[in-house]
Amino acid sequence: MPEGPEIRRAADRVGKAIAGRPATAVSFAFEHLKRWEPVLSGRRVERVDAWGKAMLTRFEGGLVVYSHNQLYGRWYVRNAGSLPDTNRQLRFAVHNASKSALLYSASEIDVLEAEHLDAHPFLAKLGPDLLDRSLAEKDLRARLRSDAYRGRQLAAVYLDQGFLAGLGNYLRAEILFLAGVHPKARVKDLDAAGVRKLAKATLEVGQRAYATGGRTLDERTFARVKKQGGTRRELRFFVYGRKGRPCHRCGTRIRRIDAGGRHIFFCPTCQPR
């Protein structure tokens, strides 16, 4: 569940199981965190938040469990007393009278004090959350045009968690496609309409991915590709992971290049240089 929208859905799911109730038991796999088990056990879970790709499990008394799934971390919610059938490694668990929330495979877990979250090296660098309802298009346009970002390649800006927390490699490819922007373009190369389109696509794609569980295709394209018998990936993305496949919009073969240190996919016709 790697990018912001998937993490937020996981936080929703986990929160539904454990927020607002006392944790009857809390456990950690890492030795250096075991001292927190008796401290957190018995405390009420206040909320489970997502901030970009980070998850914050907030306990009463101002203690917060920070976790980051990176590529492989995965949350399971089970009825109390049962565990998922998996060979993965259990790293963090919160149990209450009826449910268990279980985090497997994650290697980034820590216990922090709520008032010192910004002392955490990763959290301190995060920009506003991509899915934050109060993030308006005009705020995003101003951010794009600010000195920090206007001169950098969009391919790099759209991986930078300080620009928007929760963006990742599939979201950047899909957003730049829908904005009609070449990955190596810079904000300062765009006209006002281009910046407007980019800001709009950013929020739209983020929200759609959240609503659908990671699909960025709009309903109409999704229905059309489905009728043609598209595969899983064809039904999910416009360009991501589709090297050599025909563009869903114009039929041109999708290309893959390196930009911002990772592979990015784009349509050379829909996203001209």
**Catalytic annotation, residues:** 2-3, 53, 262
For tokens 């950690």, the residue is: 28
Q: Strand, coil or helix: what is 106?
A: coil
User: Which phi-psi region, left, alpha or beta, contains residue 205 (left: φ > 0; alpha: ψ -120 to 50)?
Assistant: alpha
Residues in the chain: 273
Report the nearest approach of DNA to the CB of residue 192 (Å).
29
E-assigned strands of the chain? 25-28, 45-51, 54-59, 63-68, 74-79, 90-95, 99-104, 108-113, 255-259, 262-266
- 116 vs 262 by CB, closer to DNA: 262
Judged by CB under 7 A, which stretch of 12-20, 121-129, 134-142, 246-254 contacts DNA?
121-129
Does 229 help bind DNA (rule: CB under 7 A)?
A: no
Does 68 help bind DNA (rule: CB under 7 A)?
A: yes
Q: Strand, coil or helix: what is 158?
A: coil
Judged by CB under 7 A, which stretch of 9-17, 57-65, 101-109, 176-184 contacts DNA?
101-109
User: Which phi-psi region, left, alpha or beta, contains residue 177 (left: φ > 0; alpha: ψ -120 to 50)?
Assistant: alpha
Indicate which single residue of 16, 136, 262, 272 sits in contact with DNA (rule: CB under 7 A).
Answer: 262
Are 178 and 204 contacting, i.e. CB atoms less than 8 angstroms apart?
yes
Nearest alpha carbon to residue 178 among 263, 238, 91? 238
Report the nearest approach of DNA to the CB of residue 140 (Å).
19
Report the nearest approach of DNA to the CB of residue 45 (Å).
24
Gap between the Cα atoms of 46 and 116, Å rounded? 17
Are 44 and 58 contacting, i.e. CB atoms less than 8 angstroms apart?
no
Does 230 help bind DNA (rule: CB under 7 A)?
A: no
Judged by CB under 7 A, which stretch of 65-73, 128-136, 138-146, 192-200 contacts DNA?
65-73
Strands 99-104 and 90-95, by their bridges, are antiparallel
Report the nearest approach of DNA to the CB of residue 61 (Å).
26
Indicate which single residue of 15, 52, 128, 260 sits in contact with DNA (rule: CB under 7 A).
Answer: 52
Amino acid in the structure at residue 10: A
Does 261 help bind DNA (rule: CB under 7 A)?
A: yes
The structure tokens listed for 211 are: 């609503």
Judged by CB under 7 A, which stretch of 12-20, 109-117, 118-126, 146-154 contacts DNA?
118-126
Report the nearest approach of DNA to the CB of residue 35 (Å).
19
Does 85 help bind DNA (rule: CB under 7 A)?
A: no
Does 129 help bind DNA (rule: CB under 7 A)?
A: no
How many residues touch DNA (CB under 7 A)? 31
- H or E segment at 64? strand 63-68
- 26 vs 54 by CB, closer to DNA: 54
Indicate which single residue of 104, 149, 222, 238 sits in contact with DNA (rule: CB under 7 A).
Answer: 104
CA distances from 60 to 20, 32, 63, 72, 170 (A): 10, 21, 7, 29, 36
Question: Which residues of the chain form contacts with DNA (CB under 7 A)?
Answer: 2-3, 6, 52-53, 68, 70-72, 86-89, 104-105, 107, 121-122, 125, 159, 161, 168-170, 214, 232-233, 241, 261-263
